[in-house]
Amino acid sequence: MKKYTLPILIALSALSVSMSAAFYSVNGLMKLFAGASFEVAVMSASLEVAKLVTASLLYQYWSTINKFLKVYLTIACVILMFITSAGIYGFLSGAYQSTATKSEIAVKELAVIEMKRTRFEEKKNELKVEKTQLNTSVNDLRLSLSNPTQVQYIDRESGQLITTTSSSTRRALKKELDIAVKDRDTVAIQIEAVTDSISTLDIAVLNKETNNEAERELGPLKYISELTGKPMSSVINWLLMLIIFVFDPLAISLVVAANFAFNKIKPKEKKLYTKKNWIDENQTAKTKEGNVVNPKKKEKPQKKKTITNTDDGRIKELEKQMKKVGESGIIEKRREEQRMKIQSEINKIKKEDDDKTITY
């Protein structure tokens, strides 16, 4: 069971990475071609499956597949890797752009609130100045009306202090005092309203800064941008390039590795024997001198075969081919067919040699 553990882990890793790459690629291509998203999804999914099958096929049949087909499938697999990487780039860049857009909107909203707050602050300062002037006027008028027999006031045209005992002037000043007091109260109410508005805007700014999820998500990227001195767009572009150049190539590599691992744990094939081979190996044994000895039976006169050098060389060459076929990575069925074919050729040559046997 232990020998299956690593191959299974490799296969599961390959499957998970391939499925993740396919998912992100399909979504990214759907965003790039939003006008036909369903059709693009079907096409992308079929291409992703074909890419994995092509990678496995190239590994399993590399030594036997047609050369032209081998070149085409290799090029197609590489191009599909680039298409998948482009889809992943589109998906990740779209996710970043969505977050960046939310952050920009939040920043603009904060700027608008700050602008309103600045206007309210200016208005508040103007109202404070006006209130100060009204307070001065009220104090002056009250001072003028403090003497019951005389009235003193400053003439607006000449700027001189005028003292009079006229009752009409006293009534006019009293009326002016009432208006000034009323205006001062109105200004005080306006100042309170402006102050409340500023407080409301301060709370709105605090809420925006607290609930700005997009800003928090972009925090690490901003830190890297400040650390490297590069703009955030450049930082995110390099990061995405690193991801896409590792993601799909790793998936293909793991698929090939899984094929390799499972080929290594296949059980050894049982050696196939023809009737003649079984007799040769179990009933006779060759000595160092080349004489044939039967370990179970008494020696009998044997027919001495004369095999030409050409036939002997062909048999050795065919046996080498059979050994190479046994060690190759092709599937078991094809390997068995090739071995049977080679063994048949060897038996044919030996049969021809038997026909040329000379008995002494």
Residue 242 shares a structural domain with residue 189: no
Residue 92 shares a structural domain with residue 64: yes
Domain boundary (264, 294, 318) is at 264
Whether the per-residue pLDDT at 113 is higher than 80: the answer is yes
Q: 95 lies in a domain?
A: yes
Q: 360 lies in a domain?
A: no
Q: Tell me which residue range forms the domain holding 70.
A: 2-107+223-264
Q: 270 lies in a domain?
A: no
Per-residue model confidence as pLDDT tens digits over 291-319: 444 444 444 444 444 444 566 777 778 78
Residue 98 shares a structural domain with residue 231: yes
CA distance 232 to 237: 8
Residue 205 shares a structural domain with residue 284: no
Q: 239 lies in a domain?
A: yes
Residue 213 shares a structural domain with residue 123: yes
Domain boundary (209, 233, 264) is at 264
Q: Are 22 and 50 in contact (CB under 8 A)?
A: no
- Once rounded to an integer, what is the mean pLDDT over residues 73-81? 90
Could you tell me which residue, 292 or 242, shows the higher pLDDT?
Answer: 242
Residue with tokens 């001189």: 160
Give the pairing of strands 285-286 and 292-293. antiparallel
* Residue closest to 180 by CA, chosen among 211, 234, 143, 155: 143
CA distance 187 to 270: 106
> What predicted TM-score, i.e. pTM, was given to this entire model?
0.52
CA distance 95 to 101: 10
Residue 209 shares a structural domain with residue 122: yes
Write the CB contacts of 52 (distance below 8 Å, at least 6 apart in sequence): 18, 251, 252, 255
Helix (H) and strand (E) counts for the chain? 10, 4
Per-residue CA distances from 142 to 76, 128, 147, 293 (Å): 98, 21, 10, 148
Residue 96 shares a structural domain with residue 228: yes
Q: pLDDT at position 226, please?
A: 77
Per-residue model confidence as pLDDT tens digits over 268-291: 554 444 444 444 444 444 444 444
Whether the per-residue pLDDT at 110 is higher than 60: the answer is yes
Residue 85 shares a structural domain with residue 231: yes
Q: 313 lies in a domain?
A: yes
Name the domain count of the chain: 3
What is the domain-level CATH number for residue 153? 1.10.287
